[in-house]
Amino acid sequence: MNLFDLTANEILKKIQCSELKPSALKAAIIERNSLVNPKTNAFIRTPDAVTILNTDGDVLPVGIKDNICIKGHLTTCGSRILDGFRPPYDACVVEKLRGAGNVIFGGLNMDEFAFGSSCETSFYGPSRNPWDLSRVPGGSSGGSAAAVAAGQVVWALGSDTGGSIRQPASFCGIVGLKPTYGRVSRYGLIAFGSSLDQIGPLTKDVTDCALLLNVIGGFDPRDSTSMDVAVPDYTQALTKDVKGLRIGIPKEYFIDGIQPEVLTAVNKAIEVLKGQGALIVPLSLPHTEYAVATYYIVATAEASSNLARFDGVEFGLRAMPSVPRKSSLLDMYEETRAQGFGNEAKRRIMLGTYVLSSGYYEAYYLRAQKVRTLIKQDFDKAFNECDVIISPTSPTTSFKIGEKMDDPIAMYLSDIFTIPANLAGIPAISIPCGFDSASLPIGLQFMAKPFAEETVLRAAYAYEQATPWHERRAVL
């Protein structure tokens, strides 16, 4: 197997046994990127090779989604409006990665400000799926997922506001975890939806996912939403034992419209877990049908508020009117935002501003928050009956680049099975569970109650080790 195909846990064992030198690994990853990134466009930017090779003490190459601050390096959220912005500090997760012996390999492509499900709205062009370069890698953390699947990094970080880690993981045949809201510090994450955003790992297998969560999890006083909850050693949950584990099957997640091959693969996965001694519990999450509408009110409202700060004054792009007028401050604001934001960003800003506007706040935003509470209560009730909930990650496998760009509603529905976990603030993971007839990966999602990452990792690991899907690699 090529060095770039190895998992982090395999690499660490080889280094410990002196079978592999960190310099050789870095060189292999640098060479891999030079060959593959022109095809995938997973990285927007990487440090120069000499800098990486001369970084002492750093072992594992990690990629960082372009909305997570890296001190002194361009961090643009895939948007023109932040062109030239170099954060004066590292995000908390970047600090922790450096402290644990990771070498930062640069900024990974993403949908602009995480607005998208395909990684096509980036100012830097779309990323491409390593399994089929004519297809999307998912979004918004598409660059992160593509880079891991293509062997361009050992592992990566993404952010998940409505499925932006799990859906790309599903499309690219890797593992992606959205931790509990508050489990991982958001300090240094450029906000999209502040009550929904969560940073999490994208890795080649579940063991790597547990290892990376060990590094990035934990309380951070700089993040007011960070929870002071003990972080266990998540690798201790990887036992292959699911005997007696109660697995809930929500009828609302097994509906008409799912790609038949996806439904077949997920049902087979349920049978595998049942054969390992898990108990299958039918259940209902009755407010699921309102999740997408609720999300696109709450998330756009928060996006509108968060993106108001990007106006050409303090950082990033500043554009002056091309036709001389009075050149007022308002003119500069308008021109900067007109040139700096892409169409999807403008669409979400307008939606969010509308639902927060006078006369509409109670009709839309307040009502959406009430429905969000009902969705959370559905999960609270369900977890009295089961330990983990299983579902497809996405209703389909990866679609063609450009296929849904002119149909925002169809694009938004790509996240129909991932959005509820963000609204409820619970942990959820996607792992590979098969391939369709076009050899495209299919994702399986596990969800558990707040701060029960050990439970989703336990169930995911047991399934993973009983099946061959995690061993397959994209060939470029």
Between 8-16 and 22-40, two packed helices, what is the crossing angle to 10 degrees?
160
CA distance 204 to 37: 18
Q: Which two tokens stand for residue 238?
A: 């990887």
CA distance 73 to 91: 12
Sign of the alpha-carbon torsion through 411, 416, 422, 424: positive
CA distance 383 to 425: 14
How buried is residue 315: exposed, middle or buried, by Cβ count under 10 Å (0-12/13-18/19+)?
A: middle
Whether residue 127 lies in the annotated active site: no
CA distance 95 to 103: 11
Q: For residue 366, which amino acid is it? A: L
In terms of Cα–Cα distance, which of 158, 235, 154, 152 is closest to 200?
Answer: 158
Whether residue 400 lies in the annotated active site: no
Beta strands in 293-396 (DSSP E): 388-392
Cis before 134? omega within 30: no
Catalytic residue among 141, 164, 185, 398: 164
The strand pair at 246-250 and 388-392 is best described as parallel
Catalytic residue among 117, 140, 185, 414: 140
Q: For residue 151, which amino acid is it? A: G
C-alpha 330: how far from chain center:
36
Residue 48: left if φ>0, alpha if ψ -120 to 50, beta else—which one?
A: beta
Neighbours of 64 (CB within 10 A): 29
Whether residue 140 lies in the annotated active site: yes
Neighbours of 324 (CB within 10 A): 8
Residue linked to tokens 């060189």: 27
Helix (H), strand (E) at residue 63: strand 60-65
Contact 128, 137 (CB under 8 A): yes
Catalytic residues: 65, 140, 164
